Amino acid sequence: MSFLRVSWLVFRKDLTVEVRSFEILATSIFFAVSAVLFFAVAFVQEGRALDGAAPGILWIAVAFAGTLALGRTFERERQAETLQALLLAPADRPAIYVGKLLGIVTLLVTTEVVLLPLIAYLFQAPLFARAGWLAAVLLAGTVGYCAVGTLFAAMLVRVRSRDVLLPVLLYPITIPVIIAGVRATSVLLEPELDVAMIRFWLSLMAAYDVVFITLALWSFEPLMTE
Amino acid sequence: MSKWFFPASVACALMFAVSPILIANAPFESTMGLVQKISYYHMPSAWIFLIAAVVCGVASVRYLFGGGARHDRVAWAAAELVVLFGAMALVTGPLWARKAWGVWWQWDVRLTASLMGWMVAVAYILVRKYGGPGSDKLGAGLALFGMANVPFVYVSVNYWRTIHPKTTVVPTLPLSMGIPFWFSFAAFLLLFILLLRMRVRLEEQRAELDAVYLSLE
C-alpha cells in the first residue's frame, strides 16, 4: 500500500470512530469553551475587554484543548489495544503518524471554528475581518503544535505518568509556534494591516512546521519500536 | 578517573582565575562601556549551552538508531549541562540587556528560541527522572527537537529583525578584546568537557553497581 493510502485509511478510521461517539470533539470543545468563559469573566470588565487579550486566550484555549485531544486519541487506542495492531500492520510507520496527525488537526480545527465566534463576541475582537489570513495563521500554528504532539502522545502511551508528561514535553517545544500564533493574530486585529509582520510570523511558523514534521517522520519509527 | 582529569581540572581552575584579569584589562567598548564586559562570560556560556544541546542530540540519535547505553549516558549528562550553561547565559544576558536595551527581556526570536532550548533540557531531566520505564527513548526524542533548535538560535539574529547583536560580532573583534574572549571560551569549553566526563563516569559507575546487584540476586 502506498504511503498516502495508509495515511488516508488511518485518518478515515480515526474519523469514523470519532463520528460514532463524538467523545473527543465534544469534550475538547466543552473544555475550550469553559476555559474561554473563565477568561472572559476575568478579563472583561464593564463590557470592555482587556487590550490584546483575545489572541492570547484563543491560543491558550487551542493549546489546552489540543493537549486533551492528543491524550485521548492515543488513550483510546491503548484501551482497545489497537495501537499494537496498528503498529503490527505491514505499513510504513511514518504513514501511520501522518494519518494520526491529520485526524488531530481536523479535530482541533473544528474546535477553533467553534471558539472563534465566541471569542470575537465576548472580547469584541474583529477576528473575521481578515478571515483568509487568520485561517492561514491558525492552520500553520495548529499543524506545528499537533506535529510535535502526535509524536509525543504516541510515545507516551507506554509510559506510566503520561498525563503529566505530555504537557511537560509538548509545551517547551511548541512555545515558539504558540508565540508566533499569538503575535500574528494580534497583528490581524490591528486597524491597519501590516503585511510584512504577518509574513514574518507566518514564515517563522512555516519554518517550525517543516522542522517538526521532518523530525517526527524521521524519528517515529525508532521511537515506536520496543 | 583518567590520568588527564586532575591536571585538566587544575588548568581549568587557573584559567577561570586568570580570565577576570584579562577581562578587566581589555579596553572599554565605545558605546556600552563597562557593561559590555558581561559578554566575555555571556557568549562563551551561550555557545557551550548550544554545544551541549548538540552533544545531547547527537548522542540521542545514536542511541535511538541502535547505539548502546553509553550514548544514552552521554545524552543525559549533556542535558544537565545544557541546563547549567543555559542558566548562565539566560542570567548574564538580561543583566547586559537591562543596560543596553533598557529592558530585562524581549520576546525576540533568539531569546525565545534559547529559552525554549533550555526548557526542553529541563523537560528532558523531568522525563528521565519521573518517566519510569521507556523514558530513555522519550528523552531521546525530546533531545532531537532540542538539537534542531540550535541552528535556529544561532542564525535567528541574521534572518529576523531583532535587537540582539549579530553573529558577525565575534570574528570582527579587535585583538585586544578577542584574546580575553577566546581565553574565556577555552575555559568554559574545558569546564564543559570536565563536567561531562565526570557526569558520564558517575552514570557508568551506577550502571556497574546495578549490574553487580543483579548478579548477586
C-alpha cell at A118: 465566541
DSSP B68: -
Q: Cβ of A15 under 8 Å from any chain B Cβ?
A: no
**Proportion of chain A above pLDDT 70, given as a percent:** 100
Contact B85, B118 (CB under 8 A): no
Give the integer Cα–Cα distance in Å for A106 and A213: 16
Neighbours of B212 (CB within 10 A): 9
CA-based nearest distance B117→chain A, Å: 8
Q: Mind giving me the DSSP string for B123-159?
A: HHHHHHHHS-TTHHHHHHHHHHHHHHHHHHHHHHHHH
B130: chain A residues, CB-CB within 8 Å: 161, 164-165
> Which residues of chain B from 35 to 94 reach within 8 Å of chain A, CB to CB?
64-65
**Residue B66: closest CA among chain A residues belongs to which residue?**
A222
**Contact with chain B for residue A169, Cβ under 8 A:** yes
Whole-angstrom Cα distance, residue A59 to residue B133? 33
Scanning every residue of chain A, which has its alpha carbon at the shortest distance from the alpha carbon of B160?
Answer: A200
Output the nine-digit C-alpha cell for B125.
Answer: 531531566
| pLDDT tens series, chain B, 217 aa | 778 899 999 999 999 999 998 888 888 877 777 788 888 999 999 999 999 999 999 999 999 988 788 999 999 999 999 999 999 999 999 999 888 888 888 887 888 889 989 999 999 999 898 887 888 888 999 999 999 889 888 887 777 667 788 777 777 778 888 888 999 999 999 999 999 999 999 999 999 999 999 998 7
CB contact under 8 A, B126 and A165: yes
What is the chain B residue with the closest CA to A161?
B131
CB A204 within 8 A of CB A176: yes
Helix (H, G, I), strand (E, B) or coil at A140: helix
Taking alpha carbons only, the member of B199, B162, B182 closest to residue B78 is B199
Put simply, whether B131 touches A (Cβ < 8 Å) is: yes
Q: Which residue of A has its CA nearest to B111?
A: A176
* Cβ A167 vs Cβ A141: under 8 Å: no
Instruction: Answer whether A169 sits within 8 Å of B123, measured CB to CB.
Output: yes
Residue B161 is predicted with a pLDDT of 67
Q: A142: Cβ–Cβ under 8 A, 6 or more apart, which residues? A: A62, A66, A105, A108, A109, A112
Is the Cβ of A20 closer than 8 Å to some Cβ of chain B? no
pLDDT at A28: 93
pLDDT at B164: 83
Q: Does B126 touch chain A (CB under 8 A)?
A: yes
Contacts of A59 in chain B (CB under 8 A): none
List, for chain A, all residue ranges whose pLDDT scores fall below the cut of 70.
226
pLDDT attached to residue A176: 86
Three-state secondary structure string covering B9-42: HHHHHHHHHHHHHHHHHCCCECCCEHHHHHHHHH
At A49 the three-state DSSP class reads strand
Segments making up each domain of chain B, as ranges: 37-216
Pick from A160, A170, A168, A154: nearest CA to A66: A170
Q: Tell how far CA B122 is from the center of its chain.
A: 13
A165, A212, A223 member nearest B137 (Cβ) = A223
pLDDT at A226: 63
- A211 and B148: CB-CB below 8 Å? yes
- Judge: B120–A172 Cβ closer than 8 Å, yes or no: yes
- From chain B, pick out residues whose CB is under 8 angstroms from the CB of A204: 109, 160
Question: Do A100 and A182 form a contact (C-beta atoms < 8 A)?
Answer: no
Q: Is A196 on the interface with B (CB under 8 A)?
A: no
How many Cα atoms sit within 13 Å of A94 on the Cβ side?
10
Asked if A219's CB is within 8 angstroms of B144's CB, the reply is yes
Query: The C-alpha cell of B121 is what?
Result: 533540557
Query: With the CA atoms of B154, B155, B158 and B161 taken in that order, what torsion angle do they form, in degrees rounded to the nearest 10?
Result: -80
